[in-house]
Structure 1
Amino acid sequence: MKTQETTAHAGAGRIAAMDPARQAYLLLRTVFTAAPVLFGLDKFTNVLADWTDYLAPVATAVVPVTPQAFMYGVGIVEIIAGIAVAVRPRFGSVLVAVWLLGIIVNLLVLGSFFDVALRDFGLLVAALALNRLAGSTAASGRGR
């Protein structure tokens, strides 16, 4: 009879034996599913940040709503993007990359938070890496 420790060790062994491309795919897919959903939900609560501080005034000039209403829309799109990564990672990863590009442009137009823009550029590259891995046989589990 297997103990919980033996079962857990066997599970860890399967993960360690998994193809590195498959591991990378699963890590990126998990993060790009969870993070957009969590950040999207936070647009409604502002627990992590006051998200309107990151919004360039030109955004509400183009879309004539209050900054908080704009952030509600942002939150909805982020939640949809996270779900898209979970369901269709090849499509969802491109959606997340394009969304991150929009965030980067917004931050550059705002003229501050350049550190966040640089971080988001790294995330954009990671989303594109997820897209490439989602199309590979290693990510689909068919590869070795």
Structure 2
Amino acid sequence: MAMKTPAPGATRTTLGAERAFLLLRTVFTVAPIAFGLDKFAGLLTDWEQYLAPWINDLVPGTAHEAMMAVGVVEVVAGLVVAFAPRFGGPLVAAWLAGIIVNLVTMGEFYDVALRDFGLLVGALALTALAWGRRKASA
């Protein structure tokens, strides 16, 4: 994730977009990996409390096993953002949309759902910047 040297005629807007891209790419690489790994360690919270009962009824196994599967998906999503952000951004956005539906259908944790909506918008911004960079370099 090294920062590219700006082209000789780069504008402030171009430099700002590049910085925004790098910030978003970093956070959407680190956060999903950290949260995914914590599904196994359980240091940050009791993740099972955030699993809607109807989803728990759909997935095989226990809520703990479901959260470990969620952890694997989150680590993979973070790695996809790191190596292919134009695909990782939409993957993270879709994942966050699923989390939001899960939380809202529980009838609680609306604050977390709202925070995740902000993150979803950030993931879409990362996607837009990643595709814009691809077109600019083509």
TM-score (norm 2): 0.86
Q: 1:64: how far off?
A: 2.6
Alignment match of 1:80 (pick from 71, 76, 79): 76
Aligned to 1:44: 40
Aligned match of 1:126: 122
Q: Which residue of 2 aligns with 1:9?
A: none
Q: Deviations over 1:80-122 (max 9, x none)?
A: 0000000100000000000000000000111100000000000
Amino acid at match of 1:104: I
Equivalents in 2 of 1:109, 1:62: separation in Å?
14
* Aligned: 1:106 with 2:102: yes
Partner residue, 1:115: 111
Long gaps (5+) in structure 1: 1-16
Taking the aligned partners of 1:53 and 1:34, their CA distance within structure 2 comes to 23
**Counterpart of 1:48 in structure 2: which amino acid?**
L
In 2, Cα distance between equivalents of 1:51 and 1:45: 10
Which residues in structure 2 correspond to 1:12-23 (within 5 Å)? 19-23=15-19
Match of 1:56 among 52, 55, 58: 52
> Which one has the largest radius of gyration?
1
- The residue matched to 1:64 in structure 2 has which SS? coil
d(CA) in 1 for partners of 2:24 and 2:97? 18
Distance change in 2, residues 1:26/1:56 (3 Å): same
Q: Check conservation: 1:22, 1:141, Cα contact below 8 A.
A: no
Return structure 1 stretches of 4+ with deviation > 2 angstroms: 139-142
The one-letter amino acid paired with 1:86 is A
Tell me how far apart the structure 2 counterparts of residues 65 and 57 of structure 1 sit (CA, whole Å): 13
Give secondary structure in 1 for the equivalent of 2:42. coil
TM-score by length of 1: 0.83
RMSD: 1.8
